[in-house]
């Protein structure tokens, strides 16, 4: 599998993860970004270390940054955990939000047995705050394209929050009831199109972006 490398230096690799490929998996025989990049580095005669510092759901396409050293991994992980890294997405929704621009704030609870999350009350044990900002960039009578800035990085956050708001993502067979019933086969129409972070060594602000793949 060819990897679309957007940027590479001694500390980081920025690339595009294809839809359907896991960022990291324990399943034997299944290719993931970690193993693909390790093989890529080994093929160049380099020490094949790859640090996974953030995730994208397996059905989601988009930009990811990986560390090439343990020091870079520690720095980038800290940026992700302290919300210093910026993550932006495009999503196509079933339905159009009433407000063209807004913020969704909820509390989410993850169910490890079913690999799903749900919106719960703040007082629920184990609940974690989730926040995102969105803006409608295109719409028709039945769908909208949302540009989303993720403020927190919870499990399935965008998918759960949009579904809870009544505008689930097209192609989401976990959280979109229509898709669960029809199995349309369109794929999950969610893309991580831009990421921003400070370089772990130079501390220079860096941003990498791919074009919006969705039209309605």
Q: Which pairs with CB-CB distance under 8 Å and at least 24 residues apart come from 23-30? A: 23/52, 23/54, 23/55, 23/56, 23/58, 23/64, 24/52, 24/55
CA gap 166, 182 in Å, rounded? 18
Beta strand 190-198 pairing with 61-67 = parallel
Taking the CA atoms of residue 174, residue 177, residue 178 and residue 179 in that order, the dihedral angle to the nearest 10 degrees is 10
Alpha-carbon Rg for the chain, nearest whole angstrom, is 18
**163 DSSP 8-state letter:** H
Q: Which residue has the tokens 């994208």?
A: 56
CA gap 137, 211 in Å, rounded? 14
Catalytic site residue 111?
no
Partners of residue 120 on adjacent β-strands:
107
| Active-site residue, from 32, 57, 75, 106 | 57
Q: Which residue has the tokens 């621009």?
A: 101
Instruction: Report whether 81 contacts 209 (CB < 8 A).
Output: no
Which positions are annotated as active-site residues?
A: 57
């Amino acid at each position: 599998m060819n990897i679309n490398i957007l940027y590479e230096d001694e500390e980081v690799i920025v690339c595009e993860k294809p839809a359907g490929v896991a960022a990291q998996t324990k399943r034997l025989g299944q290719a993931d970004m970690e193993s693909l990049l390790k093989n890529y580095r080994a093929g160049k005669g380099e020490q094949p270390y790859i640090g996974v510092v953030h995730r994208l759901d397996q059905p989601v396409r988009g930009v990811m940054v990986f560390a090439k050293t343990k020091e870079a991994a520690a720095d980038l992980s800290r940026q992700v955990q302290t919300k210093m890294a910026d993550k932006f997405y495009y999503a196509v929704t079933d339905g159009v939000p009433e407000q063209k621009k807004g913020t969704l704030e909820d509390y989410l609870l993850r169910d490890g047995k079913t690999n799903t999350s749900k919106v719960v009350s703040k007082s629920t044990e184990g609940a974690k705050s989730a926040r995102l900002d969105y803006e409608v960039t295109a719409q028709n009578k039945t769908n909208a394209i949302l540009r989303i800035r993720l403020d927190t990085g919870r499990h399935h956050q965008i998918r759960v929050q949009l579904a809870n708001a009544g505008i689930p993502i097209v192609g989401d067979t976990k959280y979109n009831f229509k898709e669960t019933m029809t199995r349309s086969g369109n794929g999950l129409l969610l893309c991580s199109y831009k990421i921003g972070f400070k370089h772990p060594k130079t501390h220079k602000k860096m941003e990498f972006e791919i074009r919006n793949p969705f039209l309605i």
